[in-house]
Amino acid sequence: MSSGGPFRGRAGALRSVDWSIVTTTPGAAYLDHAATTPLSPAASAAFVEELSRTGNPSSLHAAGRAARRTVEEARESVAASLGARPSEVVFTAGGTEADNLAIKGLFWGRRTTDPRRRRIVVSAVEHHAVLDPAFWMAEHAGAEIVLLPVDEVGRVDLEALRTEIAQHAEEIALISVMWANNEVGTLQPVEDVVRLARPHGIPVHSDAVQAVGQVPVDFAASGLDAMTVSGHKLGGPVGVGALVARRDAPLTPVLHGGGQERGVRSGTLDTPAIRAFGVAVTEAVADRAGRAGRFAALRDELVAGVQRLVPEAVLSGPVPGPGRLPGNAHFTFHGAEGDSLLYLLDSVGVQASTGSACQAGVPQPSHVLLAMGVGETDARGALRFSLGATSTPDDVARLLDVLPAVVGRAQAAGLASSGGHVSAGGVRRTAAAGGAA
């Protein structure tokens, strides 16, 4: 196969894609790109074109061979964009499935060769797509979970990992530490984690769902054994993603059937989604530096505006800069409920999130904030604003226009429901609070 997929030569054209033709809710400011971001025009065109074609990539006739070619070209594009080999890309139906395959597959694979390997070591701030399969394995497959603590900005404690490895190297099945946190945007020291694990032959997985397209992600250079990517977080369709996994990663399949994807992920390949995913990954990575610059400029404007207009707002996570996703801003508003803030903002045309969209509707404080040491009351007043390719200064201006009144109303509602008392604790200050310009 050639080293370049069909979209590589068009990277320049992709960079100048006209995002203005993509719509979110008309008239509203969409500030929830970490939950899902619009399908890019190029990915959409590829998706639609492919939907009208027929052919199972596993079939041997001409239609099947054409579909196979499309899938393999997308595989090459994804691999080239992520610093991986095409044979290391295992297509899945999204990030959740890839995380499940990594956690369960590596656990079973490692335990089969040595039954002492029962420990699954994960950071306390992982997405539920990692945490829940790990806890499921504890309930159903004899795993023992080791939660790595994080500091006040959500960065994993490498000393705790060093100690865990020193004491239990022989019993560790795998380590999973995300590349970038979906709530507070913290970038994790993935390469340091690999450096600690490598001498002991412990496989390391990283969920890079939020990182790809915003920060440089190179699978080979990272030294990881497995890495998760998802289509709809970077301009591709929902329901497609990949586990990038070294050929020698001890992965036991989770889905059994037709033996597709080197036998680790059975199921007929979704050619249209995979082709669109390949386009979106290529596009997002080719324009990564440009996007990061645009996102960071808007994010800085947003952070400065919020801090000016609502001085009691506390920025959670790292100081905006190299330790944080450029498209992420996250605040807690003392005395207000995140859900109230979200609905009040929505009613005036600003769409944001209390944290992870995957937990929407579950009225519990975020496990990420609690792990960072945020008190339960403050954690309840969390709001995440996340930027993407369609974000504009108008989106930020709209938020800033309405936010002070919304916070006032949410705090009044919070006071009313707590009988007039805001619990003790006052305004929490983190290292990040003073750092945002």
Ligand X SMILES: Cc1ncc(COP(=O)(O)O)c(C=O)c1O
The whole-angstrom separation of Cα 418 and Cα 412 is 10
The whole-angstrom separation of Cα 32 and Cα 295 is 13
Q: Which residue is nearest to ligand X (CB)?
A: 95
Beta-carbon neighbour count of residue 167 at 10 Å? 10
Beta bridge partners of 53: none
What's the closest the beta carbon of residue 358 comes to ligand X, in angstroms? 5
Residue 236 or 320 having the CB closest to ligand X: 236
What's the closest the beta carbon of residue 272 comes to ligand X, in angstroms? 17
What's the closest the beta carbon of residue 404 comes to ligand X, in angstroms? 29
Interaction between residue 141 and ligand X (CB under 6 A)? no
The whole-angstrom separation of Cα 21 and Cα 309 is 32
Beta-carbon neighbour count of residue 199 at 10 Å? 9
Contacts of 13 (CB under 8 A, 6+ apart): none
Cβ atoms of 406 and 340 within 8 Å: the answer is no
Beta-carbon neighbour count of residue 145 at 10 Å? 14
User: Residue 384: is it exposed, middle or buried by C-beta count within 10 angstroms (0-12/13-18/19+)?
Assistant: buried
The residue range among 10-18, 46-54, 92-100, 156-164 that interacts with ligand X, by the rule CB under 6 A, is: 92-100
Given 1, 166, 358, 431, which residue is catalytic? 358
Interaction between residue 352 and ligand X (CB under 6 A)? no
The residue range among 54-62, 202-210, 243-251, 261-269 that interacts with ligand X, by the rule CB under 6 A, is: 202-210
The whole-angstrom separation of Cα 393 and Cα 124 is 34
Residue 146 or 238 having the CB closest to ligand X: 238
Considering only 241, 250, 278, 414, the residue that binds ligand X (CB under 6 A) is 241
Angle between helices 288-309 and 393-417 (to 10 degrees): 40
Secondary structure E strands in 190-255: 204-207, 226-230, 241-245
Interaction between residue 325 and ligand X (CB under 6 A)? no
The residue range among 159-167, 189-197, 206-214, 246-254 that interacts with ligand X, by the rule CB under 6 A, is: 206-214
The whole-angstrom separation of Cα 301 and Cα 75 is 38
Taking residues 360 to 399 in sequence order and writing x for each that binds ligand X by CB under 6 A, - otherwise, the string is: ----------------------------------------
What's the closest the beta carbon of residue 21 comes to ligand X, in angstroms? 24
The residue range among 62-70, 91-99, 367-375, 408-416 that interacts with ligand X, by the rule CB under 6 A, is: 91-99
Interaction between residue 358 and ligand X (CB under 6 A)? yes
The residue range among 157-165, 185-193, 312-320, 350-358 that interacts with ligand X, by the rule CB under 6 A, is: 350-358
Residue 227 or 403 having the CB closest to ligand X: 227
Interaction between residue 210 and ligand X (CB under 6 A)? yes
358 is catalytic: yes
The whole-angstrom separation of Cα 80 and Cα 218 is 9
Residue type, 92: T
- Footprint of ligand X on 93-112 (CB under 6 A): 94-96, 99
Residue in this structure with the two tokens 């992870």, named with its chain if needed: 356
Radius of gyration of the chain measured on its C-alpha atoms: 22
Interaction between residue 50 and ligand X (CB under 6 A)? no
Distance of CA 272 to the CA centre of its chain: 23
Interaction between residue 207 and ligand X (CB under 6 A)? yes
What's the closest the beta carbon of residue 128 comes to ligand X, in angstroms? 8
What's the closest the beta carbon of residue 82 comes to ligand X, in angstroms? 16
Output the six-digit token pair for 219.
Answer: 């699978």
Running DSSP on this structure, what letter comes out for residue 150? B
Considering only 80, 129, 306, 319, the residue that binds ligand X (CB under 6 A) is 129
Interaction between residue 209 and ligand X (CB under 6 A)? yes
State the residues that interact with ligand X by CB under 6 A. 94-96, 99, 127, 129, 178, 182, 207, 209-210, 230, 232, 241, 356-358
Catalytic positions: 358
